[in-house]
Structure formats: structure tokens, C-alpha cells
Amino acid sequence: MLYDYQCTTCNHVMEDVQQSIKDDALTKCPECNEESLERVITGGLYGHVYQEPTTIGQQCDKNWKNKGHYERSNAMQKQDDKAREQRESRRMINRMNKEHQHHYIMTGQKRG
């Protein structure tokens, strides 16, 4: 496995360190010689998480908790609006006769 590490003291970064999944994580920084090296979890481009949360899910939970009340309610409202639009679209399609459904499937356009 390839791992990335970052020092929490001097911010030195070590990329693509070859280790077995069973190996203990490195802790000593080669730059400052402090025991402050931590494994960086990467989740794709620019998806770096280090220190506190150890999984992407934990990071999402932390980010959600750190959002203000307005931001959380706004995000939930957007999800509700999208779900409502999808339900309404399905209802409309189910009310169409076979000819209109075929037209919608072939063109993506709903007839009035």
C-alpha cells in the first residue's frame, strides 16, 4: 500500500510511502525529528484529511456539525426540494397515456 504522511509540527509531507497494511504507521518526522508524523487519508484529488477524523465519514459528520443552523437548514431544504421535484415528475409521467410516455422516453420532452 502507498501512504502519505504529514508532520503536525513542521508540516513536512512524505508522499507514496510503501508499507504493508499490517505495518504500524510512521511517527518520527525525518525533517524535525519529532514524534508528530501522521498518516494522511486521501479520498481523491484534494481530498486530504489528517489528525482528528480518521475516516471520510467522520470528516463529513464533523463538517456538518460545524455548519451553522442556517447552512444546515438550507442544505436540508435543497434536498427536500429535489425529492419533491422528483416525486412530482414521477407522478406526471405516471399520469401520461402510452403515446405521451413513448414521446417523453424518446425525446425527453413532456407534452402539455
- 0.75 exceeded by the pTM? no
Q: What pairs with residue 13 in β-bridges?
A: 6
- The helix (run of H) or strand (run of E) holding residue 48 is strand 48-49
Number of domains in the chain: 2
The verdict on residue 112 lying in a domain is: no
List strand residue ranges (DSSP E) for 1-112, in order: 2-7, 13-18, 37-42, 48-49
Whether 50 and 73 share a structural domain: no
Task: Give pLDDT, residue 109.
Answer: 80
pLDDT tens-digit readout, 11-66: 999 988 888 888 889 999 999 999 999 988 765 444 555 566 667 878 778 877 77
Whether 59 and 74 share a structural domain: no
The verdict on residue 50 lying in a domain is: yes
- Describe the strand order of the beta sheet including 48-49 as a list of residue ranges: 13-18, 2-7, 37-42, 48-49
Task: Give pLDDT, residue 80.
Answer: 86
pLDDT tens-digit readout, 74-97: 878 888 888 888 888 888 888 888
Whether 86 and 61 share a structural domain: no
Q: Residue 51 sits in which domain range?
A: 2-66
Task: Give pLDDT, residue 89.
Answer: 85
Q: Which three cell numbers stand for residue 28?
A: 518520527
Whether 86 and 57 share a structural domain: no
The verdict on residue 91 lying in a domain is: yes
Whether 28 and 60 share a structural domain: yes
Task: Give pLDDT, residue 32.
Answer: 94
